Chains A and B, each alone.
Chain A
Amino acid sequence: AQSVSQHNHHVILSEAASLELGCNYSYGGTVNLFWYVQYPGQHLQLLLKYFSGDPLVKGIKGFEAEFIKSKFSFNLRKPSVQWSDTAEYFCAVGPYYNTDKLIFGTGTRLQVFP
């Protein structure tokens, strides 16, 4: 069965620290990959997505993610976090043939302290 694992459940950082959130998926075929963010009291919003091409994708607010096919991973990174990055981050996978259905990880809660 398809699944997505986010190993970091809760991350606490100081401002200006670097961030890397892990995401691994289990699916034998070609996939589309997404990171969504949910700021406190707000909607899930798309941070970035990967469909094909350059495995290093850039998203909004200085975030980027790298798709490593051999490791079934799509880790999210940001070189220098800000207090405003405090949010819950969700990795999601959609099978290439059918992105009707997004499969989400459990989410990582990020707290950034000034």
Chain B
Amino acid sequence: EPEVTQTPSHQVTQMGQEVILRCVPISNHLYFYWYRQILGQKVEFLVSFYNNEISEKSEIFDDQFSVERPDGSNFTLKIRSTKLEDSAMYFCASSESTGYNEQFFGPGTRLTVL
């Protein structure tokens, strides 16, 4: 069964450093998403991406964040200058289309900012 994959599973970085989290969505899916979950808190929507453009973003997704689909398979989330409060589990998801379709989630990347 096709699945969303994410690398790395765990990333440790120093405050102020840039990190890139990588995702490979399911191959025929067209819509891509990033969510995050700070330990003990809710899963929060960050951004959705379609047709090489951001279609929606939350207030969390400020100028420090960017997303890219650099080739036909990868979908990346970049945090330019990490802060302590960026420590969280980051989930990538994809769906065939929007509306009535299920979002399929990856296993997550645990980001620890020291």
Question: Which residues of A pack against B, CB within 8 Å?
Answer: 4, 32, 36, 41-46, 49, 51, 90, 92, 98-107
Contact = CB atoms under 8 A, between A and B. Distances in A.
Contacts of A41: 107
Given A43-B4, A43-B105, A99 B98 contact: yes
A29 to B, nearest CB: 15
Nearest to A49: B102
Contacts of B35: 102, 104
B107 A43 contact: yes
Interface of B: 3-4, 31, 33, 35, 41-45, 48, 55-56, 58, 91, 93, 98-107
A100 B33 contact: yes
A101 B102 contact: no
A33 to B, nearest CB: 12
Contact of A44 (B91, B99, B100): B91
Contacts of A102: 35, 43, 45, 103
B105 A44 contact: yes
B45 to A, nearest CB: 5
Contacts of A36: 105
Contacts of A103: 45
Contacts of B106: 43
Nearest to B45: A101
A105 B33 contact: no
7 contacts: A43-B3, A44-B91, A49-B102, A99-B101, A100-B98, A102-B45, A102-B103
Given A98-B56, A100-B33, A100-B98, A105 B42 contact: yes
Nearest to A3: B42
A100 B55 contact: yes
A99 B3 CA distance: 20
A32, A41, A44, A49: residue with the most chain B Cβ atoms closer than 10 Å:
A44
Contacts of B102: 46, 49
Contacts of A32: 100
A104 B56 contact: no
Contacts of A101: 45, 48, 56, 58
